[in-house]
Amino acid sequence: MKSLLRRLRIRRLAFTFTTLATLSAGILIGSLVANGVHGQSKVNSSDAAPLKIPPPVDLSTNFTRIAKEVSPAVVNISSETVPKQTQQMQQMGPGGDNGMQQFFQHFFGMQPGEPDQGGSGQVREDLGSGFIVDPHGYILTNYHVVRGATSILVKLKSDPAGSSGHPATVVGYDKDTDLAVLKINVDHPLPTVTMGNSASMQVGDEVIAIGEPLALTQTVTHGIISAKNRTIDPGASGQFKHYLQTDAAINPGNSGGPLVNMKGQVIGVNTAIYTQTGGFQGIGFAMPSNTVINVYNQLIGPEHKVIRGSLGIQFQPNLPPAVAHVYGFKYGVLISSVIPGTPAQKAGLKAGDIITSINGQPIKNGDDLVDVITAKKPGTSVTVGYLDNSQHKTAVVGIISRTELEKLLKNAGNSSSSSNGGPGMSGHVKLGITVSDLPQGAPAGLHGVLIQSVEPGSFADRQLGLAGAQGMVITAINRHPVNNVAEFRAIVAGLKPGDDVALQLVNPQDPTGGSSYVGGTLP
């Protein structure tokens, strides 16, 4: 019996030591504090004063005030898309279908280049933000937040927890600017934002972004305007998208929310982010409020769509400096082509003319021209100031809708003819281009020489960027028309190192017969 008790005591001690050995240092120190170090008596804390919660102090800043003013009008938008088996929905990305798309994504988390779930048999749910601009329930957001949605719910800040929100109807949308207007029905006036003038914003101005990022409601972030007039989608698809750039933190779910200045005015709609991780990397883009207001006013109109004006011309953005130098202008728009049947053609405008003003307002570049002309109503007219072979001229040109322009372009494509290559090649080492006379069957009215090959590493390859330009037609060199190989040789023979060289090119497969321009300085 004694032996059994002794074994139990040993096991109990072993268990005690094992337990003590696993205790944290914090518990051991706490024991020492409670019992006194090395047997000392407990500390008398009767002289310790209790802490008190101080009276609240008003630390409000402009940020606090603005958040309180604007947040009630910011809403959460959830959309649900039930795909049709027979329809693949078009992916709508801020980068379009070009190389920029791999860098940009919209805020509801779709990766660039990732196919839409439409047609896959799966229901897609998207989250975004928006803001109320009319107390009757009219809401601005991004088109991509509600694109193709079969149901849309809008949740207000004042809605009780657990509420699913209010059913919303799409009043209208504009793909060109990625904007949409929604309408919800409520029995009381709703809080609204105050719109501001985005043209007054300067780089460095402070801004606040408010939205629902990552399903975290009513999130407020702060930053500055990092840049203005930022185009992230080159070409025709980006001609109406000139963004404010900001470093205010915006993430998936912020899309459609407001970007606000320090007066509490909305000066942009958060639309896109630059990201390689899918999250915030310090670069976000917002559609300027001046563009938003113009689009909104048309979307709430009787037709619920945006109608943009056009002259009926095409131009090439970002011309090389050598082209501008050869054609003798610093500011303006060099016409690449004039669409047959348009007011521009009827007014006598042609490829090679340089538009310098509209109704006396100077035109610096293509963005200026697009902004002015698209705001004009079809059926009206403008006075176009332009240079024709360095001579200042004016013409009264009517405005047509872009829808009508698209019809004319389609008709031009149906009536166009194609050309076939032929013999008669002649090379010239100075430019690095091998050309030939135009073959029989070339489109009527087309003149120039046909590019047969471009020598790798040559001036035409490296400076003019003509690698792969076989089949293009050179119609002019430094504004001198080219009709055949002999004229081509004669003009090129007169070029010397240091000269600017500007080539006017035509793609014979282009139904509009439009020109493009390349240029560089001859080494």
> Quick one: pLDDT at residue 421?
38
Which DSSP string corresponds to 28-96? HHHHHHHH-GGGPPPP--TTPPPP-PPPP-----HHHHHHHHHGGGEEEEEEEE---TT-PPPP--TTT
**Active site residue ranges:** 144, 178, 255
Q: Which domains does the chain have, with CATH numbers?
A: 61-305 (2.40.10.120), 309-415 (2.30.42.10), 425-521 (2.30.42.10)
Whether residue 39 has pLDDT greater than 60? no
Q: Which residue has the higher pLDDT, 388 or 239?
A: 388
Of 378-382, 453-457, 491-495, where does the model show the most confidence?
378-382
The tokens for 392 are 């200042």
pTM above 0.85, yes or no: no
| pLDDT interval class at 504 (50, 70, 90) | very high
The per-residue pLDDT for range 453-478, each reduced to its tens digit, is 888 778 888 888 888 888 889 999 99
Which runs of E-coded beta strand occur in 82-193? Answer: 104-105, 124-134, 138-142, 151-155, 166-174, 179-184
CA distance 96 to 238: 8
Q: Can you say whether the dihedral through the CA atoms of 66, 72, 76, 77 is positive or negative?
A: negative
Which DSSP string corresponds to 232-250? SS-SGGGTT--EEEE-S--
> Quick one: pLDDT at residue 89?
34
> Quick one: pLDDT at residue 84?
57
Q: What is the mean pLDDT of residues 181-206?
A: 95
Q: Which residue has the higher pLDDT, 319 or 446?
A: 446
Q: Which residue has the higher pLDDT, 404 or 41?
A: 404
> Quick one: pLDDT at residue 424?
39
> Quick one: pLDDT at residue 83?
62
Contacts of residue 128, defined as CB under 8 A and 6 or more positions apart, other chains included, come to 76, 77, 78, 79, 107, 108, 141, 142, 145, 146, 212, 253, 254, 255, 256, 257
Q: Which residue has the higher pLDDT, 481 or 340?
A: 481
> Quick one: pLDDT at residue 278?
65
| pLDDT interval class at 217 (50, 70, 90) | confident
- Please choose, from the candidates 150, 141, 155, 85, the residue with its C-alpha nearest in 3D space to the C-alpha of residue 108: 141
Contact 129, 256 (CB under 8 A): yes
| pLDDT interval class at 498 (50, 70, 90) | confident
Whether residue 193 has pLDDT greater than 80? yes
In the chain, the percentage of residues whose pLDDT exceeds 90 is: 36
The per-residue pLDDT for range 42-97, each reduced to its tens digit, is 899 989 999 999 998 877 778 889 989 999 999 999 888 766 543 333 333 333 33
- Please choose, from the candidates 429, 414, 418, the residue with its C-alpha nearest in 3D space to the C-alpha of residue 471: 418
Of 89-103, 381-395, 414-428, 505-519, where does the model show the most confidence?
381-395
- Please choose, from the candidates 204, 272, 194, the residue with its C-alpha nearest in 3D space to the C-alpha of residue 238: 272
> Quick one: pLDDT at residue 118?
43
Contact 497, 523 (CB under 8 A): yes
